[in-house]
Structures are given as structure tokens and as C-alpha cells.
């Protein structure tokens, strides 16, 4: 990729201040597919200064001008859509179908949703003689993960630009290529110089410098809870806004009247989607104790239908996990599940047969998991499902909520009213009733250690806005 060893700052592709490089690894083959430049505090200072200069004028542009800019961005994105899908497939190991139908598609849909939101958003309103005005928060540092990379980039960049903010993006150094491609798309769309800036680098260096920088007004971070805590600490001395979407350990409650064949199968497939590397994956399947064994047999059949293999193989339904580090973590937690006495239904340690290279994990299902086990409490971020029996509805709700996380929850029932009632009691930012279609306009974010604030739709836009009251405006 042409610009992989450069940064996009102040509307130009520039050389980094240092010489550190990091290989980008294809997780399907363990082969190097490029080298990305890693920045340092000097690059952060240059990018933040560019964003600060640009903010003075860009913050004063009209909503109509920003809508026109987003429409150009959408057009430029669509022009390179297939390339975006291919890049993501290769650098994170997403199967080709998933990369085209979902990974790349989410970037497009977030721009479209932002356009719908901006055109109807109440930017100003009167309250008596006071004018309530929404204004951009300032320079926003955006720190994004590797698992759904362009999704998390665009769901931050699009509303930030719509709000009138300027941004500095630090994507994951594990999957930097899609971010470089997105910067090329930004350039092609004619985004004014300094409004969008890209620096590649690691969290302890570039991420930390952005979080602590006095000229950064806001940090929007998606990633692990551990990293989110460190970012909050670094940001605290400058009292900047910190917006976080962190880890999850989502419960999927199957009530006793659910269609188990359909509900268990869909739950397994949802858990294993993207090789289990989704923060909102339904990794804890709660089933009535009387139907536990039935659920286990259905889950076994569903898991065994998955075809693990290289991302580019058309028959692959599950690619590798993203890296050697992630592979090791998943293997360790599978071993712990066995050691702690959970029943291994299928999968388990090691690579699937015939796959000697690549970070491939066997689709794994555990049964008879109790709430105190490590695999019921820690986010695994791999294709590992824990089936947990419960006695009655009250215990199911208690088990579901007994977690430090609160990103998502799932409820399945033939009785819609019953499902709604249970959903209202879930301590989670998103609850999905009977596997609905994905909604880019629904608020997305978590309770407890899953973060604070919300993304998507109007909530994503509000995250980048300050509220000003001009008292006496209408007197």
C-alpha cells in the first residue's frame, strides 16, 4: 500500500518523525503483508496542531456545508468499497463474504445514518428567553480497535465531522491498512486540510500522548476495559471529555418457550461471527436447566457446520483470530475452562486439523458452565460459547446481570411481551430481542465497565457536541 509508511497530517502525506516500523501480518498465513510506520509524541504534536488550526474555521462552517462534505465522503467511499473489503479481509482474516457484506458495509451505513441524523437534528431550540445551542466540542482524538476496524473509524469520524470537530485518528496498529485507505478516501472527498489527521502507532506511545495532550478536547476510545482505564487516567489532568466503548460478556437468555432449534443455532452463529471477535457477541447462552441437554445437542450441530479456513477461501465461514497474541489468549482461556470443570462439547485446544499455519481456533462450545467460572466472567474474544443452565426466569436475569460488563444482552421468546419485560431488566446498553436486524440508528454503548456514552445515530452526534445556553437571547 502506497502510504502505509506515512501519516496524513494537515491534508498531506508526510514522513513520520521516527524510523520505527511494525510488520502487518496476514493471520490466515502468518506472513508479512506490509510494514506500517509507528509514530511518537512529535507526530502527535504535529497532528494536534493541525487539527487545532483547522478547528477555528471548520467549527464555523454551516450544517449544509458539512452535509455536502459527508455526501462527497460517501461517494468516495463507495468508489473504493471493494478495495476496502479486500484490505480488511486480508489484515484481520475476515472471510471474504463477511468482509464485503458486513465489515466494509458498516462504514458506508454509518455515513448514511449520520447524514439522516444531521439533516433532522435540532441544532438550536428556544427555552423561554434562552437559546440552547449545540456546538462542536473541539479537537477529538479517536482511538479505534482492530476487530471491526472501519466500522469503528467511521462511526466516530462521520459524526465528529458532522458536528464541526476536527480529529486525529489512531487506528489499531494490528489492522492499519484500512485506516490508510480511509485517509485516501478522505483526501479524495476534499475534506479541508487539518480536519482529519491520521497517525499510526501503539497505545503506550501515540495513544497515551493523544489522551494526555492539553490541546485535545475529547478522546473517543473503543477497545479493552484495561486500556480504557489507562486512557481515563491520562485524560483526567486536563479534564477532557472521555467517551469509551469497552469490553463485554453478553448474556443470551433463551426463555423456556423459545424455539430452541432456531434460537440456539442463531446464538451459536452470532457468537462465532467474526471468529468471536466482537465486543457484543452473545458468549453466555443461558438456558432452562430442564432443556440444557437439548440446547447442547443443537449447539454441537451448529458449531460443527462451521468451516474454519483462510479468509480468501469461498467455503470459509470462520477465519482465524487476528494475531498470535490473540490466539494465545483464547487458547489459555479454553484450557482454563477445561481445568475448572466445564464440559467441553466440541472444539478445544489447538488448531483445527489440517491448518498448521495461521491463527485458527476450533469453534468451541462448553456446557454446564456456572457463573463463577473464568470462561463465564472474562471476555475471551474468540469463538468460545459458554452454555449456562438456570432454574427460573428470575435466576436467568440475575446470572445475566452478574458481570462487571454491561454492553449488550439478548432475549429469545415466542412471547414478545415477556421478552420485552425481561429486556427492560437487563443492565446493558443494548438488548436484542429475538435476533433483530442490525440498526445503525440505535444507541450503542455500555453500562458499568463496558464504558460510558453512546455511539450511532443522534447519540453518536451528541457525543461530539457541547451544549451552550445563551440566557436572555430572546428577551
**Cα(201)–Cα(351) distance, integer angstroms:** 30
Measured distance CA(164)–CA(430) in Å, rounded: 28
d(CA 457, CA 120): 11
Choose among 455, 473, 470: nearest CA to 152. 455
Distance CA 199, CA 174 (A): 13
Instruction: Give the residue carrying C-alpha cell 467549527.
Output: 59
Residue 165 annotated in active site: no
The C-alpha atoms of residue 452 and residue 225 are separated, in whole angstroms, by 11
* Of 245, 379, 455, 458, catalytic: 245
Residues with Cβ within 8 Å of 353's Cβ and at least 6 positions away in sequence, in order, are: none
Residue 198 buriedness (CB in 10 A; 0-12 / 13-18 / 19+): buried
Contacts of 252 by beta carbon, 8 Å cutoff, 6+ apart? 267, 270, 271, 282, 284, 285, 286, 409, 410, 411, 412
Helix (H, G, I), strand (E, B) or coil at 239: coil
How far, in Å, CA of 250 to CA of 409, rounded?
5
Cα(7)–Cα(3) distance, integer angstroms: 7
| 2-to-88, 186, 192, 280 alpha-carbon distances in Å | 16, 15, 22, 34
* DSSP classification of residue 447: S
Which are the contacts of 19, defined by CB distance < 8 A and separation ≥ 6? none
**What is the C-alpha to C-alpha distance for residues 375 and 372, in angstroms, rounded to an integer?**
9
Active-site residue flag, 279: yes
How many helices, marked H, and strands, marked E, lie in the chain?
16, 20
283-297 burial, b if ≥16 CB within 10 A, otherwise e?
A: bbbbbbeebbeebbe
User: Beta strand pairing status for 364-367 and 343-346?
Assistant: antiparallel
At which residue does the C-alpha cell 469503528 appear? Answer: 152
DSSP strand pairing (166-170 vs 196-198) = parallel
Active-site annotation holder among 184, 271, 279, 462: 279
Catalytic residues: 245, 279
Amino acid at each position: 500500500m502506497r502510504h502505509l509508511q506515512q501519516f496524513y497530517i494537515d491534508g498531506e502525506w508526510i514522513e513520520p518523525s521516527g524510523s520505527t516500523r511494525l510488520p502487518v501480518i496476514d493471520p490466515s498465513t502468518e506472513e508479512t503483508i506490509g510494514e506500517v510506520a509507528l509514530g511518537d509524541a512529535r507526530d502527535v504534536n504535529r497532528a494536534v496542531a493541525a487539527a487545532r488550526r483547522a478547528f477555528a474555521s471548520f467549527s464555523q462552517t454551516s450544517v449544509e456545508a458539512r452535509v455536502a462534505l459527508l455526501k462527497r465522503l460517501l461517494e468516495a467511499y463507495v468508489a473504493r468499497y471493494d478495495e476496502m473489503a479486500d484490505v480488511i479481509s486480508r489484515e484481520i482474516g475476515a472471510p471474504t463474504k463477511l468482509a464485503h457484506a458486513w465489515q466494509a458495509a458498516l462504514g458506508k451505513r454509518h455515513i448514511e445514518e449520520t447524514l439522516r441524523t444531521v439533516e433532522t437534528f435540532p441544532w438550536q431550540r428556544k427555552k423561554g428567553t434562552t437559546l440552547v445551542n449545540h456546538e462542536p466540542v473541539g479537537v477529538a482524538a479517536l482511538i479505534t480497535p482492530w476487530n471491526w476496524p472501519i466500522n469503528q473509524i467511521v462511526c466516530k469520524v462521520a459524526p465528529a465531522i458532522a458536528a464541526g470537530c476536527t480529529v486525529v485518528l489512531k487506528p489499531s496498529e494490528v489492522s492499519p491498512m484500512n485506516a490508510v485507505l480511509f485517509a485516501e478516501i478522505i483526501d479524495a472527498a476534499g475534506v479541508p486540510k487539518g480536519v482529519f489527521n491520521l497517525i499510526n502507532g501503539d497505545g503506550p506511545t501515540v495513544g497515551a500522548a493523544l489522551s494526555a495532550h492539553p490541546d485535545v478536547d475529547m478522546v473517543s476510545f473503543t477497545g479493552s476495559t484495561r486500556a480504557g482505564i489507562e486512557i481515563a487516567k491520562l485524560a483526567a489532568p486536563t479534564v477532557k471529555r472521555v467517551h469509551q466503548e469497552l469490553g463485554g460478556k453478553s448474556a443470551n437468555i433463551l426463555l423456556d418457550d423459545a424455539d430452541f432449534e432456531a434460537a440456539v443455532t442463531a446464538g451459536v452463529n452470532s457468537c462465532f461471527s467474526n471468529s468471536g471477535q466482537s465486543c457484543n457477541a452473545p458468549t453466555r447462552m443461558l438456558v432452562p436447566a430442564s432443556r440444557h441437554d437439548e440446547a447442547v445437542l443443537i449447539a454441537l450441530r451448529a458449531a460443527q457446520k462451521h468451516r474454519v479456513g483462510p479468509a480468501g477461501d469461498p467455503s470459509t465461514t470462520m477465519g482465524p483470530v487476528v494475531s498470535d497474541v490473540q490466539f494465545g489468549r483464547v487458547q489459555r482461556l479454553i484450557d482454563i475452562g477445561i481445568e475448572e470443570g466445564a464440559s467441553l462439547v466440541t472444539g478445544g485446544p489447538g488448531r483445527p486439523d489440517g491448518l498448521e499455519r495461521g491463527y485458527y481456533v476450533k469453534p468451541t462450545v462448553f456446557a454446564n458452565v456456572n457463573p463463577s467460572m473464568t470462561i463465564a466472567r472474562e471476555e475471551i474474544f474468540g469463538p468460545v460459547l459458554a452454555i449456562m443452565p438456570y432454574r427460573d426466569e428470575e435466576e436467568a436475569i440475575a446470572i445475566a446481570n452478574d458481570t462487571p460488563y454491561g454492553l449488550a444482552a439478548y432475549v429469545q421468546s415466542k412471547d414478545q411481551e415477556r421478552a420485552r419485560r425481561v429486556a427492560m431488566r437487563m443492565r446493558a446498553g443494548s438488548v436484542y430481542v429475538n435476533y433483530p436486524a442490525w440498526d445503525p440508528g440505535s444507541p450503542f454503548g455500555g453500562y458499568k465497565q463496558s464504558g460510558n456514552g453512546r455511539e450511532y445515530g443522534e447519540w453518536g452526534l451528541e457525543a461530539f457536541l457541547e451544549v451552550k445556553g445563551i440566557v436572555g437571547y430572546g428577551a
